[in-house]
Amino acid sequence: MVDSYGGNLLASRAIYPSRYYPYLILLIVTKILYCFALYLSYDVTKVLHIVHFVFFIKVGSSILLTFLQKPFSVGGRLPKQIWIRIGRHAVVGSLLSVFWIFGLTLCGPLRTLLLYEHSDLVVIAGASALFTHSSTPSKFRGAVFFLLAVLGTFLFDHDDLEHHKNDQFGTHQHTSLLSHMFEHLTSLTGVSDHKGGVILLFVTLCINVGYSSASKKLSVDVGGTKRLHALSTLCSAVLLLPWALFVFFTRESLLMSSWSVVFPLLIITIIFVLNYYVDAVCVTRLDQSRSSRFGAMATFVAALALNFLWNHPFVNHLTSIAHLDKVITIDHVFSGGVAFSFVLFMFATNILSTPIRGGSRGSFIGYSAAGLPLYSFTGDTLHRTSHSMMLIAKNGLRQILEESDSRRIFYFLCINLSFTFVELAYGVWTNSLGLISDGFHMLFDCSALVMGLYAAIMSHWKPTRIFSYGFDRVEILSGFMNGVFLHVLADTLGSVGVIVSTLLIENFGWKIADPLCSVFIAFLIFISVIPLVKETSLILLLRTPEELQKHLAVTLRKVTSLFKEIGVGNITVQVEKEAFFQHMSGLGVSMNQVYEMTKKIKGLNYDHTAMFIKAI
């Protein structure tokens, strides 16, 4: 009774104390400003080389961080070995920043925010769900959603390929060794620069997760995460200085005046530093899972809203930079692939950032007739009975291959699916609408086969509280399975008939081959349908199964021979499960008899759950 009004009643609803609301609001507002800064950065990189952009951001950030953190005066003196590690940390951080901004110029701000702005918690949880066995099915689903979102951005996102072919890398000031190497790689692989940018951002995200893990270890020796960040940013600015000077003296800039980008760079730098501090505060106050979840969702929603508002005349007037009128264009437009990825990223972030709920203790409800305590296990405890998707698929495949009918349908399904994807791929390759439509037709036929196989698996399920007699009656759906099989077989034979008749007409001029093949296929289908209709009708009429007829006759003769002159009338035969028979056989017997019966059962091919006497 106490638990009825306890915390388990509202376990599925997120209720946060009022002290969390200011930090949530601060986090959401900061993420909106961060998205604004990234959109502004995308426009600035159209007239400013990405090395110069990263260099100026590092310089501005190092000044602010040095003023706020005072890394040289606060904390102990760092030895030379630690400075070398900080230098390596700065080199990797600088390269990641350059790759990140380079991916921004290739994919645009919306896709960059969707692909790159994920916390380490989300990425690590997804990787653990895919490559380890310690995760839950919900985490595995989140990881699959995350991968599908990345693939959706890569495969289904609209990209104006012809425009990039004519003027590749022409709208941004980053024509350098990096861009030439990237262009060479994309030309070798045959993908556009946009799709290459998607790959670059995803790889950079994965490397950044390892970089952050190494930073946590180094921060312990340096004296804190913020001190390490300040020193590493300062070292990055120093390391980028020679590269920035080389680009300055060897590349021509589109800027009429260098002062035209000072104000936007200042705004971007302040917002980036503010975002770093707000993230650090929210991780401490809200915990990492909440901060990751709400921060990522606020970023995605703000990025999507800015994508529609950024080119509005009023916003364009507020964010315009001098001498950018001829450079700023409407590119990287919104597409169905982005919408698909946006939805999946939202689901994946919510699932992967949610902590795994621990087990709950049972609620005491009373005593049994024998005086033993009784407990009720609800809520989180029931979640531990779930299995992974791989285990479910493995068990389902084993059950399918055990039966000859389901095994035959499964093999036919694999062949049909293979031909379906070949037909779809070749139809897309040759722009053949007929092949594509026929491929989707076969795909839906395959889905019908999957439903039939699912019915075959259900017939082996154990009884539940709702279906206390089990799922054996699902075997009646065998008629449905056979009908589905014949339906797909008819389509397949039709395709084969078309191919055969076409070959006969082209090679021998037998124009009558087409109707002959059609009549022959119809005759085969008709012959196959007659047994199906007969069997289904007998099942619906509740006729005694044919496989039991001989056994029933033998049993009736034995029974009548026992009663002899008395006779037997109105016989009713009830078929029970083998487990019920074993249960009744075990009543009132000695332990030696139970042992002998168990040894006999083990010699038979029963299910492992039936290889012992279940009740005595």
Let me know if residue 245 belongs to a domain.
yes
For position 28, what pLDDT does the model report? Answer: 92
Q: What Å distances lie between residue 129 and 136, 205, 288, 601, CA to CA?
A: 7, 17, 19, 40
Residue 232 has pLDDT above 70, yes or no: yes
Asked if residue 160 and residue 40 are part of one domain, the reply reads yes
Q: How confident is the model at residue 512 (pLDDT cuts 50, 70, 90)?
A: confident
Asked if residue 436 and residue 329 are part of one domain, the reply reads no
148-177 residue pLDDT tens = 999 888 887 765 444 444 444 445 555 466
Return the residue matching tokens 């003296």.
249
Asked if residue 216 and residue 110 are part of one domain, the reply reads yes
8 A C-beta contact, residue 485 and residue 405 = no
For position 485, what pLDDT does the model report? Answer: 60
* Average pLDDT of the segment spanning 311-338: 61
Let me know if residue 272 belongs to a domain.
yes
3-state secondary structure of 366: strand
* Average pLDDT of the segment spanning 247-266: 71
Asked if residue 166 and residue 92 are part of one domain, the reply reads yes
Asked if residue 327 and residue 204 are part of one domain, the reply reads yes
8 A C-beta contact, residue 295 and residue 34 = no
348-385 residue pLDDT tens = 998 888 887 654 455 556 666 555 666 665 544 444 44
Asked if residue 438 and residue 348 are part of one domain, the reply reads no
Residue 419 has pLDDT above 70, yes or no: yes
Q: How confident is the model at residue 234 (pLDDT cuts 50, 70, 90)?
A: very high
Asked if residue 181 and residue 128 are part of one domain, the reply reads yes
For position 298, what pLDDT does the model report? Answer: 92
Let me know if residue 336 belongs to a domain.
yes
For position 170, what pLDDT does the model report? Answer: 46
For position 506, what pLDDT does the model report? Answer: 78
In whole angstroms, give the CA distance from residue 322 to residue 134: 55
177-188 residue pLDDT tens = 677 777 777 777
Let me know if residue 80 belongs to a domain.
yes
Let me know if residue 38 belongs to a domain.
yes
User: What total number of domains does the chain contain?
Assistant: 3
Asked if residue 428 and residue 317 are part of one domain, the reply reads no
Last residue of one domain, picked from the residues 527, 543, 559 = 543
* Close Cβ partners of 304 (under 8 Å, ≥ 6 residues apart): 110, 342
Asked if residue 592 and residue 507 are part of one domain, the reply reads no
Residue 575 has pLDDT above 70, yes or no: no
Q: Which residues of 258-282 are buried (b: 16+ CB within 10 A; e: fewer)?
A: eebbeebbebbbebbbbbbebbeeb
Last residue of one domain, picked from the residues 543, 559, 584 = 543
266-298 residue pLDDT tens = 888 888 999 899 988 888 888 888 888 899 999
Percent of the chain with pLDDT over 70: 67
Last residue of one domain, picked from the residues 518, 543, 568 = 543
The range of the structural domain enclosing residue 580 comes to 576-610
Asked if residue 154 and residue 112 are part of one domain, the reply reads yes
Asked if residue 439 and residue 342 are part of one domain, the reply reads no
In whole angstroms, give the CA distance from residue 134 to residue 123: 16
Percent of the chain with pLDDT over 90: 13
**For residues 564 and 408, which has the higher predicted lDDT (pLDDT)?**
408
Let me know if residue 15 belongs to a domain.
no
For position 611, what pLDDT does the model report? Answer: 44
For position 496, what pLDDT does the model report? Answer: 72
Let me know if residue 554 belongs to a domain.
no
Structure tokens at 293: 């979840």
3-state secondary structure of 586: coil
Asked if residue 441 and residue 500 are part of one domain, the reply reads yes
Predicted TM-score (pTM) of this structure:
0.60
pLDDT averaged over every residue in the chain = 75
A 10 A CB-CB count for 420 gives 19
Q: How confident is the model at residue 92 (pLDDT cuts 50, 70, 90)?
A: very high
Coarse DSSP helix, strand, coil percentages of the chain, rounded to the nearest 5 percent: 75, 0, 25
Let me know if residue 370 belongs to a domain.
no
